[in-house]
Structure formats: structure tokens, C-alpha cells
Structure 1
């Protein structure tokens, strides 16, 4: 989050829930902590180095074809300029705009929490 703006990335059409906007991040590898995964994934995916973050929420979401567990962190400070290192478009949006954006189903509780916590 930067100046009440949230960075979003567009999922590839080939991915599960593809063609929808998501919060950047990725999977935790077996040998790393959630915080280590956050740093690694955001550096690999969008080219930033996280310098301040805090836990926002955890959730488990059941799709018909699979279950995902999300550990969501709010990044408040970073160095570098975000760029889609995997070819994915990025965009900054205001908290007020989140309700107008199409997210993967599992991200809806995250959107609700952000809107509740940071207002519109």
C-alpha cells in the first residue's frame, strides 16, 4: 500500500481464475517462512525489496477444484519501482476502487478487510 493505493497484478489467462486482478505474491517454499516467501516472491514477481510489512489476515478458501490457504500481508514500505517481471500488467488503485475490480473468488474476503480497515 502506498498513499492509500493498492498495487494489483493481472493473472495470466492460463492460470486458475485467470484474467482477474490479484494482490501480488506467491507460494511459500517448504524451506522458508511466510516472511521469507513474501520478500522473495515480491522481488521475483514485481522487482521490489520489502522494507516494512505487517500481517493483515489468513484465510482458507475452497474452490470446487482445489483449496487455497492465503497468508495476506500489507506492505507499507519498499524500495524499487514495481514492474511486471513476468509480463503481467500492474496497476495502482485506490481503496474505493477495489469494489469495482474483478478478483479471484478467494480474494473477496481480502478486499472486504481492506475496505473495512482503510475505508473508502
Structure 2
């Protein structure tokens, strides 16, 4: 049995010291856990293009400035994910959950209170290092 491999564009959307989180729908892989918004990278699509598209489709925001943060490879056993993660420092629009997902803004120092998929642990560490150097 081959394990499904998925390439994902992930956006750590930052606004006024707060970070945008989305809760995965229960029927999804890792359902019910919190994540940074984003989605699958389509064939031939760059990560920034995929992230811009996904943020518009999922959260109704248009990213106008982003920079790479970290690339993570994680094996869940039933699925392997490659998370190409970017900091989105500027965007237009008001974030809302267009796919029925709960979204919320939270302070960085409260992120430990949320239940994230295991693959996101490295994102949290990279984000902490990024914010310390800001």
C-alpha cells in the first residue's frame, strides 16, 4: 500500500501581533485540530500562487506580501505531508471561514493553548524564532 503524499501551502497570517487560525472540519484528516490556513498545491502551481488562491477560497483574504518561513516534511503513517509555510504579513479583506470552518485571531503567546496537528510543531518553533528576530 502506498502512502498518500500531499504538498500543502501554509500561511501564517499576521496582523497587529495576532495570528489567524482555522479549525479543521471533523471529517478531514486531523479533524477538529487547529491549523494555519492554506491548502493543497496543484500541479504546476507555485507555493505563493497556491497560498494566495487558498487564502481567498478559504478565508476571503488576498495576500499582498509573504515570505518563506519553513518547509516541513511529516509522516503521519497514513499520509505524508510537505508543508511549505509562508509568513503573510500584508493582506486585504476581512478574514472569515468560507468553508464552514471556525477561524479566529489569537496572540502568539496563546498558541500553546490550541491543539495542532503534529506537523505544525515545527511551524510554531520557526514562528517563535521569526518573531524574536522581528
TM-score by length of 2: 0.86
Instruction: Give the structure 1 partner of residue 77 of structure 2.
Output: 64
Q: Give distance in 2, aligned partners of 1:101 and 1:36.
A: 28
Q: Which string of whole-angstrom CA distances, capped at 9 and with x for unpartnered residues, describes residues 52-93 of structure 1?
A: 110101010011111100100000000000000001010001
Partner of 1:17: helix, strand, or coil? coil
Instruction: Give the structure 1 partner of residue 89 of structure 2.
Output: 76
Instruction: Give the structure 1 partner of residue 118 of structure 2.
Output: 105
Instruction: Give the structure 1 partner of residue 7 of structure 2.
Output: none
Pick aligned residue for 2:108 from 95, 100, 103: 95
Partner of 1:26: helix, strand, or coil? strand
* Number of aligned residues: 119
Displacement over 2 Å in runs of 4+: none
Deviation at 1:3, TM superposition (A): 1.3
Instruction: Give the structure 2 partner of residue 23 of structure 1.
Output: 36
Instruction: Give the structure 1 partner of residue 11 of structure 2.
Output: none
Q: Is 1:55 aligned to 2:68, yes or no?
A: yes
Q: Give distance in 1, aligned partners of 2:42 and 2:99.
A: 19
Over aligned residues, Cα RMSD in angstroms?
A: 0.9
Q: Which string of whole-angstrom CA distances, capped at 9 and with x for unpartnered residues, describes residues 27-61 of structure 1?
A: 11002111110110100010011111101010100
- Structure 1, gaps ≥5 residues long: none
Structure (1 or 2) with the greater strand fraction = 2
Partner of 2:40: helix, strand, or coil? coil
Contact 1:96/1:115, CA 8 A, preserved across alignment? no
Instruction: Give the structure 1 partner of residue 3 of structure 2.
Output: none
TM-score by length of 1: 0.95
